[in-house]
Structure 1
Amino acid sequence: MKRWAALACGLVVGVVSIGVAPDEARADDDTWYDRYVAMDAAVGDTYYRSADGAQLAWNESYVLDSYVDVYGLSRDRRWLDKAVTHIDGMIADADDADGDGYRGWQTARYSPVEIDNGGMETGAQGDSTLPADWLRFQTTSANAFRTTDRRAGAYAARIDSDGQLWRKLYQPVNTYHPNTVYQLRFWSRTNGSAAGGQAYLYDATAKQVLCSTDVTATVWTYHSLDCRTPSVAGHTLQVWIGHRDYRVAGGQAYFDDVALSGRFPYLVHDGMIGSSIARFARLVEQTPELHESYRAKAVSYRTFLESEVVPRWESSSYIGNTWYALTSTTGTYKQSLKIDAFSHKRNWSILPYNQSLAFSNMLLILHEINGNAAYLDRARLNGQYFKNALTLSGDAYTWPYSYSSAQPEDVSHANIDVGAARELHRRGIVFTPTDMQRFTNTLTNRLWNGSLTAPKVRKFVDGTGDDSFSKYLVEWTEYAQWAKAIAPIVSEQYRHSTVNHGYDMLALARIMKWDRTKLVNQGFELATSFDTTQPAQWTRAGSTATTAFRDSANTHTGQYGLTIRSTGGAPQGVFQSWEGWSPATSYTLTFSGRSSGGAAGGRVVVTNVTTGAVLAALTFTDQDWTGHTLTFQSPDTATQTVRVSIGNADPTVAGAAHVDDIRIRVTGEPW
């Protein structure tokens, strides 16, 4: 017991700390969890029902990631069940709209708009009553004209019916890709007349309406419909707006923000969605206790990604091969040369760093499951391509948005960049511990204003710009592995804010993940920046890399556990300071443990370092992984120092103890 007390009070070494007081790092026990549950109830099931690739990438992917994270915190399988429901729904909605033989998702959000002046903001030359670029059909300025009764901007178009003839406006489409789904979208309203309103896409060459929708609402309402273009090029396509029934006089139909854009696939969206699905599959694969309930699903999801999403970007007859091997050590992804998914005036072909990294990150996660060497090679080459773009400024990295842009990357898009870099580092590829510390320094030394009570973060990675992107830090949050201050920087963005977005759900999950009232790096998956054998945020006490280390051969869940090896002499172990706890409160500590057998065994102890009192201790000698629980009372005085230490039961005897998944929660709370 005396030997163990000495270990538990060892010196603090090897933890990067930037002056975070316990109350500043505190995440208020289960306040964050309660907010997360409430938000999931409000918006969690909103996004996966959409078949739009952008909606799924920039909303649903974060929801799915949050489910995986919150399961890891709570071990509550309802979050995995929700993930299954969402992934099943997304895969069911995936289609082969472009006919290339591969299913996936598309969006019209970023593709070129193929008509002009859809907002009616500009008047025609010589006739300001007519929207520029639009043509009148059987109308004059008396019954088809620009109006200030609009949905947005300064103008809209109004068309009146007189019961005599069709009164319409139309505009030829600039260009189109054959046999492609285009989205016709607009805002409209009527005055309630039975004449109603109508918009449609017309093939003037074939004299065929390709798609049409009616308008009846008397308040401005958004409309969107899909239209497939002719199978060959060269047809004259036109967008028409007018009434549903010209025979009814007195009708007024209003149109604003009319647009027509192709629904195209985007590599970044498939990467974001696919990475989230792959993370679920990886979790299941690496957690044997989940196999019975979820492995069949996980395998089917992996198969979908491997057979549909991944080959889509190299073997599709519609998209073409977008992989670009630059050199023997670098490669990346480029725009499709077959479809203008971004702009007809593009002057670049290689995709921005964040877009290619999102996709290669999915490949890296899949490789961890399937061992496909080609996936690993793509991720490695793409990671090196990004690394070559980094500039060391002092002790921090800066980088541009893309190879062709002088503008620095913004903090929000950089989430994808630093997330992919961290995943590569975790796999021991491309990025070193020094690189991780430099990315960390980008946030803590260049972007952060230094405040823990009102922290703000600059918009661009070079430290310029305003602080409007301060809350977009979900992947930066994971760099709390290397700097303790990052957790409160993020949590303070959300302490008093309203959360209403899928992104916010993941932010709350990451805040919970780095809540030091629960302990952090609970599964020992993360390493320090200076020693890959030492678990991040855990301090060695009297031990070395051979006696207290992250162990991939002895793990209960995930890829690593912690091994403490007794050498038959001085105590060996690690500890973590427990912070932000509430005084005089009942807490429960849980962990999984096993030993090599014999008297050395293992021991977990909670110690009040200030008074020297042991608050709780548990010794184990099980040779199979066994769950253990300790319940104890926190000190009455909040300023006292408390540590959780892990070592051997009897350090005078040779043997080994293995621990995984250690965490603390308020007794009776769900996590």
Structure 2
Amino acid sequence: MMRGKMACLVVSALLVTTLGVGAGPAHASGNTWYDRYAAMDAALGDSVSANSATLAWSESYRLRSYLDVYRLTRDTAWLDRLVGRVDAVVAGADDIDNDGFLGWSTSRYSPPELANTGFETATSGDSTMAANWVRWQTTSANAHRTTDHAAGSYAIQIDSDGQLWRKVYQRLGAYEPNTVYDLRFSAKTNGSDARGRIYVIDQTADVILCSATVTNTAWAASTVECRSPAAAGHTLEVWLGHDNYRVAGGRAYFDDVSISARVPYMVHDGMVGSTIAQFVRLAQRTPSLPDRYREKAAAYRAFLETEIVPRWESSAYLGNSWVSSAGTYRQPPNVDTFAHTRPSPDHLPFNQSLAYAQMLLALYQVNGNATYLARARGVATYFRNALTLTGDRYVWHYAPYSSGIEDTSHANIDVGAAREFYEAGQVFTATDMQRFTNSLTKAMWNGSLTAPVVRRNVDGTGDDSYSIYLVEWAEYAQWAKDILPIVAEQYRNQTGNSPYTMLALSRIMKWDRSKVVNQGFELATSFDATQPAQWNRIGSTASTAFRDSANAFEGTYGLTIRSVAGAAQQVNQTWEGWRPASRYTLTFTGKATGAAGGRVRVVDETTGATLADVTFTDIDWTTTSVELTSPAASGDVARVYIGNADPAAAGTAHVDAISLRVSGDAW
């Protein structure tokens, strides 16, 4: 993610695709979080932008939320939503830089090539004229600053007199050859037939590169696409004036005039690419999915492997961004995508390289490409080496060249990537996960569960304005269950719709303990990789109750309970947040070998009542659902137990995909 306030960008209609897919499941389920999520998805509509900034900081969150909600509900309608949108995202890729690779780009963060774009600063000695801009065939009588503006305090007004062209212009500070530029501006006229006109001219070749005519009488923002000359060293200028100087009495107004290159960013490719790659991984690891999803996954994988990944090392336009000596990525050596001056070294900020490394890691888990893994591990190691241990928590900077402490928002990408690497058994350890968890719970959070706020920076400094940016921090509820209410309270009464909020809601649903969490046993505790997070061993050990990659119904892990033909071997999880005296459905998939079989129970510990008790001996994976009624007293303690049906006999039980849901709930 780029630092600083994001400027609003008017995106051409050419950059937006409208999907032909319907909305996802949107029935009232009785679950507040899910119903808000489904309504939000419908409200946000089907348009998909090809602007890489929008893909990264909007679309990727929406796509990632679909993966979350599919895993919760097992409803493939959410995967259909994802596939429809990813199809549009891939279709929107282009090769505007002519390097032979398809991809996405934006002009939102590239160096601005004009100064004083809002005409706010006056020329020294002439308050009527904007600094950095030059009058041509005119004076202050018919080209001057005005307080009739679109933004800020000033704009430029140019009046026609029917005698000569009256214009102002500014020379571009620099440009990248053979590059698409976005000329952005706000403008209006007084309705005269003189109209207004803005254009970019290559004075060296005497060629107009792009232009736009202004006829509207109210301020309106526009964007025009230009392509710079193939050769370097030309003189390029932006000119403002009228479309017809022979008409007297015309007035043209211009404000917020800027021009910047449309270029790709590794962090954007990483944000959207890692989400697509995670779908590819899901399709490969879930054999129960219909073949159509694997077919889509194969096409997406080919796109990432042949278009997105190679352009960051093999593009003649960008140059090779990999720094083998450091084990991380740098700014593209051939193009200035951030500024015309560079830090030393010009390695990317941690979040930007980590987002891309996440994509490489997910692809490696599918294709086994050793180079992908080496690059991903290099980036992760580079970041890990930059962490500072303060007590039992981590503190770090935004970038290797920055002295500023990383902020909570950007850190989402950092801690999200670290967790992905840990789950893959690469670079980061369980101890690292606990230290990141401690950063949030011991330094950043104010300690309240009813009115929680989170400090702006990872060292606990700053205001609480970033409390809402916690989508990846939410996943650390694996190691501290108090993180769920920290996140949930930010969104409990929130209004408005956004893809980021969709992802936040999906994370809240994921860690809602009224459903049972870590339902697929994919996640481990920070102190024992064999023990599923949020599940407790009861009379069992790492050899008798453990996460089992050899016996998973879906995903990578399931739970195995091995009988010792004696004392019961079990795990349990406290069931929290249930509705009193309500009907619930307990669902799990299980199989067993030997006479011990398997058993799943729900017990009211306060009264001793058994709410549900299911035994199984199937040798093949079998999904079972049973109805139960939750305790009548809201203060009762209830737990879910998994063990063997006959602990005195030999055998093993395997369980996966366990959940509890209130009747009528979608997940």
Relative to the length of structure 2, the TM-score reads 0.94
- Would you say 1:61 and 2:57 are equivalent positions? no
Alpha-carbon distance in structure 1 between the residues aligned to 2:606 and 2:244? 84
Name the structure 2 match of 1:197.
Answer: 196
Alpha-carbon distance in structure 2 between the residues aligned to 1:522 and 1:457? 28
- Would you say 1:33 and 2:30 are equivalent positions? no
Name the structure 2 match of 1:600.
Answer: 596
1:223-262 Cα deviation digits (max 9, x unpaired): 1121111111121111112223333333222111110101
Which of the numbers 648, 653, 657 marks the counterpart of 2:653? 657
User: Matches of residues 69-80 of structure 1 in structure 2 within 5 Å?
Assistant: 69-80=68-79
Alpha-carbon distance in structure 1 between the residues aligned to 2:182 and 2:206? 20
The CA deviation at 1:458 is: 0.7
Alpha-carbon distance in structure 2 between the residues aligned to 1:62 and 1:406? 29
Name the structure 1 match of 2:314.
Answer: 315
Question: Which amino acid in 2 is paired with 1:53?
Answer: S
The CA deviation at 1:367 is: 0.6
Alpha-carbon distance in structure 2 between the residues aligned to 1:50 and 1:290? 28
The CA deviation at 1:44 is: 5.2
Instruction: Tell me if structure 2 keeps the 8 A contact 1:593–1:625.
Output: yes
Unaligned runs of 5+ in 2: 1-28
Alpha-carbon distance in structure 2 between the residues aligned to 1:510 and 1:192? 52
Name the structure 2 match of 1:515.
Answer: 512
Instruction: Tell me if structure 1 keeps the 8 A contact 2:274–2:362.
Output: yes
User: Matches of residues 304-453 of structure 1 in structure 2 within 5 Å?
Assistant: 304-326=303-325, 331-348=327-344, 349-453=346-450
Instruction: Tell me if structure 2 keeps the 8 A contact 1:29–1:665.
Output: no
Tell which deviates more after alignment, 130-139 or 352-361: 130-139
Query: What's the secondary structure of 2:634's corresponding residue?
Result: coil
Instruction: Tell me if structure 2 keeps the 8 A contact 1:331–1:381.
Output: yes
Name the structure 1 match of 2:8.
Answer: none
1:135-177 Cα deviation digits (max 9, x unpaired): 2223221221100111111111111223333322211111111
- Would you say 1:485 and 2:482 are equivalent positions? yes
Alpha-carbon distance in structure 1 between the residues aligned to 2:140 and 2:175? 30
Instruction: Tell me if structure 2 keeps the 8 A contact 1:44–1:502.
Output: no
The CA deviation at 1:595 is: 1.3
Alpha-carbon distance in structure 2 between the residues aligned to 1:286 and 1:498? 36
Which of the numbers 605, 612, 615 marks the counterpart of 1:616? 612
Question: Which amino acid in 2 is paired with 1:351?
Answer: L
Alpha-carbon distance in structure 2 between the residues aligned to 1:517 and 1:200? 60
Tell which deviates more after alignment, 221-230 or 529-538: 221-230
Query: What's the secondary structure of 1:288's corresponding residue?
Result: coil
The CA deviation at 1:504 is: 1.2
Name the structure 1 match of 2:6.
Answer: none
Name the structure 2 match of 1:502.
Answer: 499
Seen in structure 2, the aligned counterparts of structure 1 residues 374 and 291 have a Cα distance that, compared at 3 Å, is farther
Alpha-carbon distance in structure 2 between the residues aligned to 1:483 and 1:29? 27
Identity %: 63
Instruction: Tell me if structure 2 keeps the 8 A contact 1:44–1:63.
Output: no
Name the structure 1 match of 2:12.
Answer: none
Instruction: Tell me if structure 1 keeps the 8 A contact 2:517–2:534.
Output: yes
Alpha-carbon distance in structure 2 between the residues aligned to 1:384 and 1:457? 27
Question: Which amino acid in 2 is paired with 1:254?
Answer: Y
Alpha-carbon distance in structure 2 between the residues aligned to 1:652 and 1:662? 25
Tell which deviates more after alignment, 441-450 or 70-79: 70-79
Alpha-carbon distance in structure 1 between the residues aligned to 2:287 and 2:242? 62
The CA deviation at 1:579 is: 0.4
The CA deviation at 1:354 is: 0.9
Runs of 4+ aligned residues of structure 1 deviating over 6 Å after TM superposition are none
The CA deviation at 1:380 is: 1.2
Question: Which amino acid in 2 is paired with 1:552?
Answer: S
Query: What's the secondary structure of 2:144's corresponding residue?
Result: strand
The CA deviation at 1:320 is: 0.8
Query: What's the secondary structure of 1:540's corresponding residue?
Result: strand
User: Matches of residues 523-602 of structure 1 in structure 2 within 5 Å?
Assistant: 523-596=520-593, 598-602=594-598
Aligned residues: 638
Seen in structure 2, the aligned counterparts of structure 1 residues 44 and 565 have a Cα distance that, compared at 3 Å, is farther
Tell which deviates more after alignment, 640-649 or 496-505: 496-505
Instruction: Tell me if structure 1 keeps the 8 A contact 2:30–2:664.
Output: no
Alpha-carbon distance in structure 2 between the residues aligned to 1:628 and 1:191? 72
Alpha-carbon distance in structure 1 between the residues aligned to 2:92 and 2:292? 24
- Would you say 1:52 and 2:51 are equivalent positions? yes
CA RMSD of aligned residues (A): 1.3
Alpha-carbon distance in structure 2 between the residues aligned to 1:342 and 1:570? 64
- Would you say 1:220 and 2:216 are equivalent positions? no
Name the structure 2 match of 1:269.
Answer: 268
Name the structure 1 match of 2:4.
Answer: none
Instruction: Tell me if structure 2 keeps the 8 A contact 1:480–1:487.
Output: yes
1:53-100 Cα deviation digits (max 9, x unpaired): 111101111111001001111111111111111111111111111111
1:438-485 Cα deviation digits (max 9, x unpaired): 000000000000000110111111111111101111111100000010
Instruction: Tell me if structure 2 keeps the 8 A contact 1:352–1:402.
Output: yes
The CA deviation at 1:589 is: 1.4
Alpha-carbon distance in structure 1 between the residues aligned to 2:43 and 2:250? 39
Query: What's the secondary structure of 2:288's corresponding residue?
Result: helix
Alpha-carbon distance in structure 2 between the residues aligned to 1:39 and 1:304? 30
Instruction: Tell me if structure 1 keeps the 8 A contact 2:62–2:502.
Output: yes
Alpha-carbon distance in structure 1 between the residues aligned to 2:357 and 2:154? 44
Q: Which has the higher contact order (CA 8 A, sep 6+)?
A: 1
Alpha-carbon distance in structure 2 between the residues aligned to 1:96 and 1:639? 61
Alpha-carbon distance in structure 2 between the residues aligned to 1:414 and 1:159? 47
- Would you say 1:153 and 2:152 are equivalent positions? yes
User: Matches of residues 205-284 of structure 1 in structure 2 within 5 Å?
Assistant: 205-284=204-283
Question: Which amino acid in 1 is paired with 2:148?
Answer: D
Instruction: Tell me if structure 1 keeps the 8 A contact 2:184–2:224.
Output: yes
Alpha-carbon distance in structure 2 between the residues aligned to 1:44 and 1:36? 13
Name the structure 2 match of 1:632.
Answer: 628
Alpha-carbon distance in structure 1 between the residues aligned to 2:499 and 2:46? 10
Alpha-carbon distance in structure 2 between the residues aligned to 1:587 and 1:217? 60
Question: Which amino acid in 1 is paired with 2:35?
Answer: D
Alpha-carbon distance in structure 2 between the residues aligned to 1:654 and 1:254? 85
1:399-448 Cα deviation digits (max 9, x unpaired): 11111111111111111111111111111111111111000000000000
Tell which deviates more after alignment, 83-92 or 441-450: 83-92
The CA deviation at 1:29 is: 6.5
Alpha-carbon distance in structure 1 between the residues aligned to 2:513 and 2:62? 23
Alpha-carbon distance in structure 1 between the residues aligned to 2:213 and 2:579? 60
Query: What's the secondary structure of 2:416's corresponding residue?
Result: helix
The CA deviation at 1:291 is: 4.4
- Would you say 1:93 and 2:92 are equivalent positions? yes
Query: What's the secondary structure of 1:260's corresponding residue?
Result: strand
Instruction: Tell me if structure 2 keeps the 8 A contact 1:118–1:258.
Output: yes
Unaligned runs of 5+ in 1: 1-27
Alpha-carbon distance in structure 1 between the residues aligned to 2:247 and 2:63? 51
Name the structure 2 match of 1:461.
Answer: 458
Name the structure 2 match of 1:648.
Answer: 644
The CA deviation at 1:662 is: 0.8
Alpha-carbon distance in structure 2 between the residues aligned to 1:664 and 1:199? 62
Alpha-carbon distance in structure 2 between the residues aligned to 1:236 and 1:57? 34
Alpha-carbon distance in structure 2 between the residues aligned to 1:43 and 1:244? 39
Query: What's the secondary structure of 2:408's corresponding residue?
Result: coil
1:577-618 Cα deviation digits (max 9, x unpaired): 11001111111111111112x432111111111011011111
User: Matches of residues 284-299 of structure 1 in structure 2 within 5 Å?
Assistant: 284-299=283-298
